[in-house]
């Protein structure tokens, strides 16, 4: 049973020893709404998760922190959780696409999802392992096999695309970066990412050349970071920041808060695509619904067609993997 029905708020972070997991564990520790933080990773991780748990436990915030190592302790790590965040998997390196990660990460995600479906079926499952546009549908299939699937409790974290779109839009317009918002829909990777600058707030009319450049920048931003790190990893700090923001929205929704919405990759069909990133509303049961996508510019209409087709391919890949493994 999820613990969100009282003041307890247990969050489990799977992949806590990784480049994203470490900073994310600290950001979750300082969230005042979280009362218990379970950090999990495998013993092969370069930095032992008990050490990360011990380090975090010295931060003077309410959340109690505990580390768990290896699959035999994953059931205990997830039991009683209201929210599970998954960032386990291999890091993207120069020349690698998110799709290249699928072969390894699909197997990791399958095993994690199988355990979570058994021991924490009511938790909100938030996936950020790549390619998440395939791994979220894969997880849905595993939950269906276990007879516990609820689309209100599964999502992919695409908030990083929103974070980047906000930053680049503010740079282009001169607006205060902390006061702008740009909805980003579609998928999470390449042409599947579609930032709707026509719906940005505050709205500033931009010429088509600028919009196309911004669109391209949001799509290729990850490559910029991967190349700059020269083989040492991928975006981790901005990803951790963005994931923490999304988890906070989910938790505030679980607690019945107002105005709890964020872009997320969810099982709410759009144009024949079963999963799609959309502005999502959160409540006490998890996902309450999505906000309508309409009034697109001609450029966005054209890009939307590309996004939908790419996401459809990714969804199919995840479903087929789940069916054959």
Residues with a known catalytic role: 188
- On whether the CB atoms of residues 279 and 291 are closer than 8 A, the answer is yes
Q: Cβ contacts of residue 56 below 8 Å, gap of 6+?
A: 25, 26, 29, 37, 39, 65
Which are the contacts of 207, defined by CB distance < 8 A and separation ≥ 6? none
The four Cα atoms 270, 303, 129, 281 give a dihedral, to 10 degrees, of: -40
CA atoms within 13 A on the CB side of 81: 32
Residues 6+ apart with CB under 8 A from 307: 185, 186, 187, 191, 192, 193, 194
Q: From CA 151, how far away is CA 144, in angstroms rounded?
A: 10
Q: Identify whether the C-beta of residue 257 lies closer than 8 Å to the C-beta of residue 283.
A: no
Q: Which residues are annotated as a binding site for NAD(+)?
A: 15-21, 41, 128-130, 239
Q: Which two tokens stand for residue 223?
A: 């490559």
Q: Are strands 83-86 and 10-14 parallel, antiparallel or unpaired?
A: parallel
- Residue 50 CA to residue 187 CA, distance in Å, equals 34
Q: Which positions make up the binding site?
A: 15-21, 41, 128-130, 239
Any idea what the Cα angle at residue 195 is, between residues 281 and 160, rounded to 5°? 70
């Amino acid at each position: 049973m999820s613990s969100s029905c009282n003041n307890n708020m247990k969050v489990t972070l799977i992949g806590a020893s990784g480049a994203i997991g470490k900073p994310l564990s600290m950001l979750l520790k300082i969230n005042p709404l979280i009362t218990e933080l379970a950090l999990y990773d495998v013993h092969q991780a370069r930095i032992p998760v008990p050490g990360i748990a011990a380090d975090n436990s010295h931060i003077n915030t309410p959340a109690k922190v505990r580390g768990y190592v290896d699959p035999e302790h994953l059931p205990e790590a997830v039991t009683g959780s209201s929210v599970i965040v998954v960032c386990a998997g291999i890091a993207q390196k120069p020349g690698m696409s998110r799709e290249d990660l699928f072969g390894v990460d699909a197997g990791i995600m399958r095993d994690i999802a199988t355990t979570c479906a058994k021991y924490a079926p009511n938790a909100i499952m938030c996936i950020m392992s790549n390619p998440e546009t395939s791994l979220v549908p894969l997880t849905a299939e595993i939950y269906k096999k276990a007879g516990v699937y609820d689309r209100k409790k599964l999502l992919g974290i695409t908030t990083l695309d929103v974070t980047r779109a906000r930053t680049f839009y503010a740079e282009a317009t001169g607006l205060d970066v902390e006061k702008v918002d740009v909805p980003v829909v579609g998928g999470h990777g390449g042409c599947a990412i579609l930032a709707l600058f026509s719906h940005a707030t505050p709205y500033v009319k931009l010429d088509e050349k600028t919009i196309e450049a911004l669109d391209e920048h949001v799509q290729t931003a990850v490559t910029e970071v991967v190349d700059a790190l020269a083989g040492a990893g991928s975006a981790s700090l901005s990803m951790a920041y963005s994931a923490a923001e999304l988890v906070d929205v989910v938790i505030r929704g679980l607690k019945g808060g107002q105005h709890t919405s964020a872009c997320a990759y969810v099982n709410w069909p759009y144009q024949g695509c079963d999963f799609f990133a959309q502005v999502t509303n959160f409540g006490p049961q998890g996902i309450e619904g999505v906000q309508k996508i309409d009034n697109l510019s001609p450029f966005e209409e054209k890009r939307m067609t590309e996004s939908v087709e790419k996401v459809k391919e990714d969804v199919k890949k995840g479903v087929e993997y789940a069916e054959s493994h």
